[in-house]
Amino acid sequence: MMQAIDEDDASLVRGLTAAVEALQDEAVALLSALVREPSLLGQEAGAQKIMAGTFAGLGLEVDTFAIDEAALQGMPGWSPSLISYDGRLNVVGVHRPRAARGRSLILNGHIDVVPPGEAARWTTPPFEPVVREGRLYGRGAGDMKAGIVAYTMAFKALRSLGLAPAAPVYLQSVIEEECTGNGALACLQRGYRAEAAVIPEPFNQTLMTAQLGVMWMQVEVRGRAAHMIDRGQGTSAIDAAFSVAAHLRRLEAAWNEPAARHPRYAAHAHPVNFNLGRIEGGEWTSSVPESCAMHWRLGFYPGEDLAEVRGRVERCVAEAIATDPALAGCAATVRWAGFQAAGFEIDPGAAVLQVLGEAHRAVCGRDAAELACTCTTDARFFALYGDTPATCYGPEASSIHTVDESVSLASLREVTTVLALFMARWCGVEPIA
């Protein structure tokens, strides 16, 4: 009997590998169509329309819904939004089995992409997908439209073998992963739960076992204005901002000290990163600047309380103003907007990681490495607030968040096969009616 099951499984692996191979052109076409839609913050509608149509084409029930900001505000994990939610939709493809025998599953991906930066620095325009030497180039190709394509084609590969998951499966395409995570939170608010969630973020086919917390902070520094004649009477807000920044850099260094680290990050070169991502200041070339705004992205460890982290950072800024002679007469106000995201870890022995790791081994013929991630992902919502064990497993991509972003199409094909096999083993399968 065991022999028969092993043979069935081996033929399933072969069948899915061939089915995914046969769907590769369609996968590249879907990925290209998605990259062509510049789904920047607030401009997600075109790409989401493609996903709604794709889910409908797979015979899934399509649940399209707006984000109810009033309902989300009271929920843990909410981050203050940056722009209005009018007309900005999440799309979920819902599979309901005829007989639910297996474990339910959420496959989630974010449709939003970060700005392309200077388009002129790209080898080819950021929103014109191009395949070169086995890689598809374009903003969002790796992060993470390829992941969305992978789980979509994984579901389709099962169908092409006449099979469907024998448990509820929810294919979620969400907005705002890159700034708040409120798109994924809205899926929780809508009631979506499962026995596991997998997000194919482009982490080079590793199994994610932890992710850092991330916060966005704005520090408004005020100096004292003066004409150039009286420069000694004024304090430049821009100079003052850099003095405040030096204090934040010391706090960052302290959090990276070996003794301060979370154990999952013990071997990492520099896990906690404070990024000064934007700075605006000054009014006139011949006037001493009165104000300067710094926009920071701060990392912190899993298990740390958000209010406590905010308190430590606010004390750092307040102490800088109170004690640093370079900041005499200056003031600073701290505001928190955008990400207020806790970190989390998942037990490497968790069933979802075991089954996913075995699927990776069966398809790729090697073990998947574990990843303690230094950024945040939407996985935190499922893990921390949705009672759903969550991880990330996705393709190899390069230059995400910078120019010439690309994804490996060979890796996309492997990930698609792994996700299809994982789905079959996690959910079980039933013949399509």
**What Cα–Cα distance (Å) separates residue 82 from each residue in 150, 210, 216, 341?**
29, 27, 11, 15
Shortest separation between residue 40's beta carbon and Zn ion, angstroms: 14
Closest CB to Zn ion among residues 63, 143: 143
Closest CB to Zn ion among residues 251, 397: 397
Shortest separation between residue 375's beta carbon and Zn ion, angstroms: 8
Shortest separation between residue 400's beta carbon and Zn ion, angstroms: 7
Written as one letter, the residue type at 58 is L
Closest CB to Zn ion among residues 168, 395: 395
Cis peptide before 423 (omega within 30 of 0): no
Closest CB to Zn ion among residues 255, 339: 339
Shortest separation between residue 288's beta carbon and Zn ion, angstroms: 41
Question: How far apart (Å, rounded) are the C-alpha atoms in residues 247 and 429?
Answer: 56
**What Cα–Cα distance (Å) separates residue 290 from each residue in 215, 235, 236, 243, 330?**
26, 8, 6, 15, 9
Best CA proximity match to 240, nearest among 326, 314, 313: 326
Shortest separation between residue 393's beta carbon and Zn ion, angstroms: 13
User: Binding string, 114-143, against Zn ion, x = CB under 5 A?
Assistant: -----------------------------x
Provide the token pair at 189.
């608010």
Determine the size of the site formed for Zn ion (CB under 5 A).
Answer: 3
Closest CB to Zn ion among residues 178, 290: 178
> φ, ψ for residue 176 (rounded to 5)?
65, 30
- Specify the stretch interacting with Zn ion by CB under 5 A; choose among 117-125, 198-206, 254-262, 318-326: 198-206
Q: How long a stretch of residues is the chain?
A: 433
- Specify the stretch interacting with Zn ion by CB under 5 A; choose among 144-152, 317-325, 340-348, 388-396: 144-152
Q: Provide the strand spans (E) within 43-168.
A: 61-66, 89-95, 105-110, 130-132, 135-137, 163-165
**What Cα–Cα distance (Å) separates residue 233 from each residue in 44, 149, 230, 339, 368?**
49, 60, 5, 38, 61
Shortest separation between residue 201's beta carbon and Zn ion, angstroms: 5
Closest CB to Zn ion among residues 144, 424: 144
- Specify the stretch interacting with Zn ion by CB under 5 A; choose among 56-64, 199-207, 313-321, 425-433: 199-207
Closest CB to Zn ion among residues 177, 290: 177
User: Binding string, 339-368, against Zn ion, x = CB under 5 A?
Assistant: ------------------------------
User: Binding string, 62-101, against Zn ion, x = CB under 5 A?
Assistant: ----------------------------------------
User: Which DSSP helix (H) or strand (E) runs through 170?
Assistant: strand 169-174
80: which residues sit within 8 A by CB, 6+ positions away? Answer: 180, 336, 337, 338, 340
Shortest separation between residue 93's beta carbon and Zn ion, angstroms: 19
Closest CB to Zn ion among residues 176, 201: 201
Closest CB to Zn ion among residues 320, 341: 341
Q: Provide the strand spans (E) within 250-326.
A: 274-281, 291-300
| CA-CA-CA-CA dihedral for 227, 233, 239, 241, to nearest 10 | -110
Residue 144 in contact with Zn ion, rule: CB under 5 A: yes
Q: Is-contact 214 192, C-beta < 8 A?
A: no
Q: For residue 269, count other CB atoms closer than 10 A to its CB.
A: 7
Shortest separation between residue 126's beta carbon and Zn ion, angstroms: 16
Shortest separation between residue 147's beta carbon and Zn ion, angstroms: 8
Shortest separation between residue 134's beta carbon and Zn ion, angstroms: 22
Greatest Cα pair distance in the chain: 92
- Specify the stretch interacting with Zn ion by CB under 5 A; choose among 4-12, 196-204, 281-289, 385-393: 196-204
DSSP code string of 354-395: HHHHHHHHHHHSSPPPEEEESS--THHIIIIISS--EEE---
Shortest separation between residue 341's beta carbon and Zn ion, angstroms: 13
Give just the sign of the alpha carbon dihedral 198, 201, 204, 208. Answer: negative
Name residues contacting Zn ion, limited to 286-345 (CB under 5 A): none
User: Binding string, 200-229, against Zn ion, x = CB under 5 A?
Assistant: -x----------------------------
Closest CB to Zn ion among residues 44, 143: 143
Written as one letter, the residue type at 33 is A
Q: Which residues bind Zn ion (CB under 5 A)?
A: 143-144, 201
